[in-house]
A = this chain, B = another copy of it.
């Protein structure tokens, strides 16, 4: 799950448009379709074209940690070895482009710039994971929720004219991402609404009413969404 977008540059082909992994790799999936499961051979990267994807790990005792959400422009499947190290799902109708890992690695031999690009992506992935660690070590529920909402506003840049932003994942997904329970997520969102920091027009959306205070509540100057 990378926040960095692969942008075509003017002087050569867009990175992902080589013949080996051209647009015929595009797939459309309904909500809650699996991309891959933990233990599957790690053969592909996936570029999310639109929709939303979650990556998660399920523990023997049933607990679940969502490791990341991926939106349009993000890439999933990086940072695994030969086999995927966790599960990956869509959480809404999603279009994505499958990219053969092996052909990409082969291509790297001819085009060192591609290697640098991939390293950059890797660095972003590391940053995201570090941000998540920091978010999980942050103590209070308010800080976690505020940080999460902040990162959502940064990543889904487009807000509707009324300021509404989409929150495509359910409360359980937010809870399992932030290391909280559903109830605490709900209570904390309600609290932020009571504080006039956000509005909750419906289940799957939110509006930032006081960005400055939201940032204060998120506390740390840096992180999530980089």
Contacts and interface: CB of A to CB of B under 8 A. Distances in A.
A82 B136 CA distance: 25
Nearest to A136: B136
A133 interface: yes
Contact of A57 (B59, B105, B125, B222): B222
Interface in A201-221: 219-221
Given A108-B112, A132-B133, A137-B179, A127 B220 contact: no
Interface stretch (A12-20, A25-33, A73-81, A153-161): A73-81
Q: How many copies does the complex hold?
A: 2
A65 interface: yes
A122 B126 contact: yes
A91 B63 CA distance: 34
A7 interface: no
A61 interface: yes
A110 to B, nearest CB: 8
Contact of A79 (B61, B109, B127): B127
Interface of A: 57, 59-61, 63, 65, 67, 78-81, 85-86, 105, 108-109, 112, 115-116, 118-119, 122-123, 125-127, 129-130, 132-134, 136-139, 179, 219-222
15 contacts: A57-B222, A59-B220, A78-B123, A79-B122, A79-B123, A79-B126, A79-B130, A80-B123, A80-B127, A85-B222, A112-B115, A115-B119, A126-B129, A132-B133, A137-B179
